[in-house]
Amino acid sequence: EERLVESGEGSVQPGGSLRLSCAASGFTFNNYMMHWVRQAPGKGLEHLSAINGNGDSTYYADSVKGRFIISRDNSKNTLYLQMGTLRVEDMAVYYCARSAGSIGTRYGYLDSWGQGMLVIVSS
């Protein structure tokens, strides 16, 4: 059974940095695109970033472009999100998720999600 387990949640001050990790198991990690999605308290879902299977193509939402970096280590079956210059509005639960295909393809939906982890940005 596929499993995604996030780690790295924490509390940081505005302007600070944090790295999130997502450990994958139960599937062939490098066959899947991986994603980060966040949900601010009481709000909806926002797709933040994506990376293809071999890590050479990435996507960022405008809200995090230039501040966040997505990466993956296929030898460790792990996805990362390096978050910098954090703002109060970045406070949210962050989920990692996978898709078998990229945007605009029949398998572009998110079929497995991690449990989520809370990132608090506050002074």
Binding residues (CB under 8 A) for other proteins: these are 44-47, 59, 61, 95, 99, 103-106, 108-116
Q: CB-wise, 16 or 100, nearer to other proteins?
A: 100
Return the SS3 of 30.
helix
Q: Compute the least distance from the CB of residue 13 to other proteins, in Å.
A: 26
Smaller CB distance to other proteins: residue 74 or 113? 113
Scanning the structure block, which residue is given the tokens 């990376």? 51
* Pairing state between β 78-83 and 18-25: antiparallel
CA-based nearest residue to 30, from 53, 59, 1, 55: 53
Rounded to the nearest whole angstrom, what is the least distance from the CB of residue 94 to other proteins in the complex?
A: 11
CB of 15 to other proteins, least distance (A): 26
Indicate the residue among 31 and 105 with the shorter CB distance to other proteins. 105
As measured in angstroms, the least distance from the Cβ of 110 to other proteins is 6
CB closer to other proteins, 6 vs 90: 6
DSSP state of 100: S
**Nearest alpha carbon to residue 119 among 7, 28, 10, 14:** 10
DSSP state of 85: S
Token output for 75: 């030898």
